[in-house]
DNA sequence: TATCGACATGACCATTTGGTCAACTCCGTT
DNA sequence: AACGGAGTTGACCAAATGGTCATGTCGATA
């Protein structure tokens, strides 16, 4: 294994991957307490002892998953400035967040389950990094409102609106499938929802939509960013 | 006890209430599997045996809580018709749903946890009653769009938008508190969020806002409805 | 061939799980 | 005073929980 860290993953990396995927699913379904190592092991197709051998403990596994999800989230974030175009920024945010939801629904649900139980493992992150990120964004939004580029809405509520509206399609997938009578949310649904959200939210905030003619430079930038 | 079913609750009713409240909290935090009868009993201040004596089993308790939450939801629902005013209806929906979130955050979280695990106990409801309710609403929205009373947005996505944006303030309370650095969401926050959502969503759908001068007939109707 | 470290896993452990049960108190009726 | 049903609860059970450990297998190096 020391001799090869080449394209083909070593045994360790391969098994850890399998375990992480399985665990993300089980934790997302049942939360931290409700998930059992046995269930994760079965989902991974490995004996329980083997799972513990790789991940150390249930707690470490859970933390590793949360960290992976937060790093995906961080990789999605842009810095923005007052000089940027409000329409482009808002639309970019909506599209990025929606893409995150689409690509990592399990991770999104894992995050939701963690927050539902009071975010015991994410207190620090929420009160630190994320809070500052939101405040920075909020300041810019307020500046835009002052300049008359958008309605003077509460910028924090606006961020939460985008967050919730996109997150919903992962967390409440079961409800959406039940109601729309589909068996899965496909590319076309995600596209349709994204367009809808861009329309309603931008218009609702009095932001003129960014020029939308085919996939723009902006959109490609987002795509390449999200390809972790 | 047979002789008195007067104002003062009997022992049974009183204890069942205590247990339901405690259980709603624990189930909302940890989901069905993650909640233990022991934890519920401690939260209720009763011995485990006593809890089981009243509710029969963990499963029955969980189902009872879901049913209570769905009945609260049903009690909130209006029938609407094409002749109603789109602004009034949309605003009424947002306000009602927000009030439900505010009054029953535990119940909202319980519902979220249930849906997160794939809604095993609510399949029937989602595919039946709720689906029909959404479809009926959607038809009316489409009719309004045809008449030019609102933008031709996908009515189902619109319903989900309202659902998610309001639900968020219960389910992600921990995140919101962490980010806004508050310790609780109070009446003023809920009011502020509600006004924000009404503004953005109505404007975003191209619906002219209903005449808003103080608490209207409409608003009082909603209030009295929600007083279960 | 012997050795070593990564990988694999069944046996096992203390604790907790949901649930049962028998014994008990308490109080209104006879 | 005797009875009976609602309420109360500790003792108990089999099963599942997270985690440890000893015993392996296997392939690369010496």
For residues B32 and B50, give the distance between their C-alpha atoms in angstroms, rounded to a whole number: 20
For residues B93 and A128, give the distance between their C-alpha atoms in angstroms, rounded to a whole number: 35
Confidence of residue B209 (pLDDT cuts 50, 70, 90): confident
Contact A80, A87 (CB under 8 A): no
Inform me whether the C-beta atom of residue B204 falls under 8 Å from chain A C-beta atoms.
yes
Neighbouring C-beta atoms of residue A181, cutoff 10 Å: 10
Chain B segment 61-90 residues within 8 A of A by beta carbon are none
* Encoded tokens for A199: 């329309």
A204–B199 CB contact, under 8 Å: yes
A91 Cα distance to chain centroid: 16
User: pTM for this one?
Assistant: 0.91
Determine the straight-line distance between the first and last CA of chain A, rounded to whole angstroms.
25
In the predicted structure, residue A8 carries a pLDDT above the cut 70: no
What's the rounded mean pLDDT across residues A121-138? 96
Contact B135, A181 (CB under 8 A): no
CATH of domain B65-210: 1.10.357.10
For residues A113 and A42, give the distance between their C-alpha atoms in angstroms, rounded to a whole number: 21
- What residue is closest to D11 (Cα–C1')? B49
- Encode pLDDT of A78-113 as tens digits: 889 999 999 999 999 999 999 999 999 999 999 999
What's the rounded mean pLDDT across residues A61-82? 94
Max intra-chain CA distance, chain B: 62
- Closest residue in A to B105 (Cα–Cα): A116
Sign of the torsion formed by the C-alpha atoms of B190, A160, A195 and B108: negative
- Encode pLDDT of B57-91 as tens digits: 999 999 999 999 999 999 988 889 999 999 999 99
Whose tokens are 């197709």? That residue is A45
In the predicted structure, residue B211 carries a pLDDT above the cut 80: no
Which CATH code, of 1.10.540.10, 3.40.50.150, 1.10.10.60, 3.40.640.10, is assigned to A9-56?
1.10.10.60
B29–A117 CB contact, under 8 Å: yes
ipTM over 0.85: yes
Using a 7 Å cut-off to protein CB atoms, list the covered nucleotides of chain C: 6-11, 16-22, 28-29
Nucleic strand C within 7 A of Cβ B26: no
Using a 7 Å cut-off to protein CB atoms, list the covered nucleotides of chain D: 6-11, 16-22, 28-29
Hey, where are the domains in chain A?
9-56, 65-210
Closest CA to A153 of A137, A169, A168, A173: A137
Whole-number Cα distances in Å, A64 to A59, A102, A116: 9, 21, 18
- Encode pLDDT of B47-66 as tens digits: 999 999 999 999 999 999 99
């Amino acid at each position: 294994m020391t001799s090869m860290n080449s394209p083909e993953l070593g045994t360790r990396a391969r098994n850890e991957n399998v375990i992480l995927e399985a665990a993300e699913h089980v934790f997302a379904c049942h939360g931290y307490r409700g998930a059992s190592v046995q269930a994760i092991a079965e989902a991974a197709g490995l004996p329980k002892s083997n799972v513990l051998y790789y991940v150390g403990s249930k707690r470490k596994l859970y933390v590793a998953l949360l960290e992976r999800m937060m790093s995906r989230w961080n990789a999605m974030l842009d810095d923005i400035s007052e000089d940027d175009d409000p329409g482009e920024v808002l639309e970019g945010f909506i599209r990025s967040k929606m893409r995150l939801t689409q690509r990592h629904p399990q991770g999104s649900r894992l995050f939701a389950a963690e927050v539902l139980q009071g975010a015991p493992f994410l207190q620090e992150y929420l009160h630190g990094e994320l809070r500052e990120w939101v405040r920075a964004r909020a300041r810019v939004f307020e500046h835009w409102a002052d300049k008359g580029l958008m309605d003077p809405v509460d910028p924090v509520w606006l961020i939460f609106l985008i967050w919730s509206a996109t997150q919903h399609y992962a967390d409440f997938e079961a409800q959406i499938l039940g109601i729309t009578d589909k068996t899965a949310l496909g590319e076309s649904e995600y596209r349709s929802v994204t367009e809808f959200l861009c329309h309603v939210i931008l218009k609702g905030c009095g932001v003129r939509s960014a020029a939308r003619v085919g996939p723009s430079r902006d959109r490609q930038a987002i795509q390449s960013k999200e390809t972790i």
